[in-house]
Structure 1
Amino acid sequence: MPEGHTLRRLAQDLNAVFAGTRPRISSPQGRFADSAALVDGQPWAGADSYGKHLFLGFGDRSELVIHIHLGLIGSLRFDQPLAAPARLRIEVDEHFAELRGPQTCALITPAELVAVVARLGPDPLRADADPEIAWQRIHRSGKSIAALLMDQSVIAGIGNVYRAEVLFRNRINPFTAGSRLKRTSWLAIWSDLVQLMPLGVRDNRIDTVRPEHTPEAMGRDPRVDDHGGEVYVYRRNDLPCLVCGSRIRTKVVEGRNLFWCGNCQRRS
C-alpha cells in the first residue's frame, strides 16, 4: 500500500498539471459516472493529501471534493493509458490522469473531508502536525510500537517500510509496548520521519540508509527491488545487517511482515 509520501507527491503532480484549469472529469469504467458528471468542468481548486488519503477539490470555493484512498492495488497514472478502463479520468488539453483499482473514490463535502481527517493521527508531512497527539495515544497503549506505527489513528501516512526503517535507525526494539516506550524515543522517531518523508516526496522513493551505508560507501551492490530505495531492514530477511552483520529477522505484525535486527534494536 502506498505510504504518505506517495500521496503527497501525487497531490503535487496533480496541481502542477491541472492548476488554473477546468478539467474534464469522466469515469470510463462507469462506477463513478454520476459523481464525475457533477464535477466535470468545475474549476480545479487544488489537490491535497493527509496520510494515505488524497483529496481533489473542485469549484470556486472547493465545494466538491473527490476523496481517494488507493488501498493495496490502486494506482494513479499520468499521461499513460491504463490496461483496463479507469475508475476516474481527469484531463485537460493533451494531459490526463487516470485512477484504477482504488479502495475509495467518492464525492464528498468539505465537512465530510474534515470528518475523515479527524479520525487520523498527525501526519509528519504536514507543518501543522502535533506529535504530542500521537504520543498521548502511544504511551497509554499496551500494543507494541511496531503495531502502533501502523495504526493510522495514531500516526497518519506510515506504512510497512517507514515503520521498519525508523525503528531500526533509532535502535528501538519493535516489540516494546507503547506504555514502556520512552518519550525521548518517540520524539526521535517523529523527528526521523519529519526528515525522511519529505525526501521520499522529492525522490518518489524511500531511501533510509545513512551516507556511510550506501552501496558506494560500503562497496556493495545496490538494492534490487520493485519498491526501489536503499534500506536497512525492509524485505532484507535472512540477509546480513548493514551495520552489525547479524541476520535480519521477520515476523508478521498487524498483518504485515515486520523486519528488524535483533542485535542492533535493543533499545526500549
Structure 2
Amino acid sequence: MFPLEIIESGAPPNEARGILILWPSTGGNARSFRIRDSELLRDGLRLIRFNPPSHGNSGGTYDPKTAITLLDEYLKGKNYLKKPLYGIGHSGGGAALLMYAQKTTFRKLFLLSPILDSVLSLKYLYESDSIEEFSRLLLLPNLSDSESPNKQILESLATPDWLVSGEVDHLSFPVKNVRIQVDSLATFLRNLFLPGFQVEFGVNEKRTDVTIFLPAEDKWFPKKQTVDFAKRNEFRFLEIPEAPDHFFSHSWLSVWKEIKSIGWD
C-alpha cells in the first residue's frame, strides 16, 4: 500500500466540535493553505489536511473515486464521521468534496473554482489557448522541452486529439515534480479524463450549505457554467476580485476571511 499523507491540527479530537477537511487542487498540496491553529482552537475545529494519492508526500496515482474512498475510510477509522463535517476544496478537490457529499453529510462546504466536469475543463483550456498551463504541471524537472519525456508530454497534449482517440499508452512512464507524482502519466490521464468525471446535478439533496468562490478570471473552467450550477442547486457564490486566476494566487487570505465571516453554524 502506498503512503498517504494526512496532516491533523487544531482542536484535540476528543474536544473538537467539528471536523474541517481541506482537499487541494489536482497537483496541489494541502500544506499550502495558511490556517492558524489558534483560529481552529477558538472555533473548536479539527483540521484534516488531505493530500490524496500523488499529492504532497502521498504515493500512488490520483483517481477521484479512489481518493474519496480512502478519505472516507480514514474518517471512519478515526470516528470523525460522528461529528459535524466541514470542507474546503480547490478546483478538482472541490469537485471531489461535492461528490463525497453525495454519500456523506457535510454541514458546510467552501469551494474554490470547483472543476465540475473534467473533460469540459480541458476543452476550455484548449479553446482559450491555455492548455500549456496544464501540460507544464506534468513536466519532469531539470529537463528542457526538447528532451524526452517532456517533449512527448508537450507534443501529445498540444491538441485535444487524445481526448477523442484515448491514445495515451505512450505516456506510461512515471512523473515526479514539486506539484505531482504519478507512477504512470497514462493512468493519471485515464483516471481523470477518459472518460472523465462530472458532478451530477441535484447534489444538494442533503441540503448542505455550499459556498463557491470565483476568481476575477478563470482559464481552467468557464465561470458561467459554475454560476449556473450554483443557481440550480441554490448554492451561494462569491467572486473574489483580488483573485487573478484559477489558482487564487496571493488571495487565499481573502477567501479565508470570507469563510470566517460566513461562519461554521
**TM-score interval w.r.t. the shorter chain?**
under 0.3
Of structures 1 and 2, the larger Rg is shown by 1
How high is the TM-score relative to the length of structure 2?
0.28
